[in-house]
Structure 1
């Protein structure tokens, strides 16, 4: 055998030895190490659970105070929204022409629901803007996704009026 053949056999033998050593010794050690890391992370999470529970309870109290401050009470958001719209429309000479059934969409992957309320208001431009501003800034019913202003004409009275179609979206 030549020196070159001996070197090739030596390198092949070393690679084979390293592979066998990894299969029988090192792979089990690496697997156990990753399991130890995972269990350590779970242990830390379980130790932090009481602190997280206390923080969540405090956050719930804070959110209840915010809801109370923003005049959102009761269980039905739709009834509260309609009551707020009635109260605001009485003070600003705006009429609620339609208030349709809410559209509820549930995302299949994350199981989150999105409720979209569709209603139409009629009145002058400033009053409509005032109501939209109040809904978005003062009350916590959701985000105004769309507000479309439509100028229409009543052919019987030959007068023009302004309608605002609003889509208000709430993520649950």
Structure 2
């Protein structure tokens, strides 16, 4: 055998030895390193779970408090609005004459519900109810309030009616 052949066999053997070393040792080590890093990341994630749970419980208490503060319950917005209006109207000696189904419009991907409410009673009490709807609850924004003085010809008495339009964005 010549030295050239010996060198070629030596280089081929060296390359084969490198391939076998990589295949049986280095490849497994790299896979185990990846698995270790993945498990380490999961460990960090599991260490944060109690903190996340505590944060979520605090958020839940905060949002529950907001729902109670703004008188929003588990039922629909329309039912909550009617319940609130009836409660305030009873306190302020007002009559709820009309509460229609909402007019629903769609604009820029949002549903806009417009509720029309008609009340009868004294001006000051109506203003108090309107203020309460606007400032103490978060049902939506008042877009129109229309007062009209009417006369009942049978009793020959005059009374005041207010038509309120309230928009809620859903």
Q: TM-score, normalised by structure 1?
A: 0.62
Range 96-105 or range 65-74, more displaced: 65-74
Gap change, CA 1:67 and 1:101, over 3 Å in 2: same
Per the alignment, residue 151 of structure 1 pairs with 149
Cα deviations by residue, 1:38-82 (Å, 9 ceiling, x for unpaired):
xxxxxxxxxxxxxxxx8xx67776444322212111231111111
Structure 2 segments unaligned to the other structure (5+ residues): 1-51
Q: Distance in 2 between matches of 1:64 and 1:116?
A: 26
Aligned equivalents of 2:128, 2:150: Cα separation in 1: 20
Instruction: Kindly indicate whether the alpha-carbon contact (under 8 Å) linking 1:145 and 1:169 is maintained by their aligned counterparts in 2.
Output: yes
Distance in 1, Cα, partners of 2:134 & 2:67: 14
Map 1:56-135 → 2, pairs under 5 A: 62-107=62-107, 110-135=108-133
Q: Which has the larger radius of gyration?
A: 2
Q: Partner of 1:157: helix, strand, or coil?
A: coil
SS of alignment partner, residue 74 of structure 2: coil
**What is the alpha-carbon root mean square deviation over aligned residues?**
1.9
Unaligned runs of at least 5 residues, structure 1: 1-53
2:8 is aligned to: none
TM-score normalised to structure 2 length: 0.63
- SS of residue paired to 1:150: strand
In 2, Cα distance between equivalents of 1:59 and 1:144: 29
CA distance in 1, matches of 2:124, 2:115: 22
Alpha-carbon distance change, 144 to 60 in structure 1, aligned in 2, over 3 angstroms:
farther
Alpha-carbon offset, residue 119 of structure 1? 1.0
Report the 3-state secondary structure (helix = DSSP H, G, I; strand = E; otherwise coil) of the residue aligned with 1:168.
strand
How many matched pairs? 116
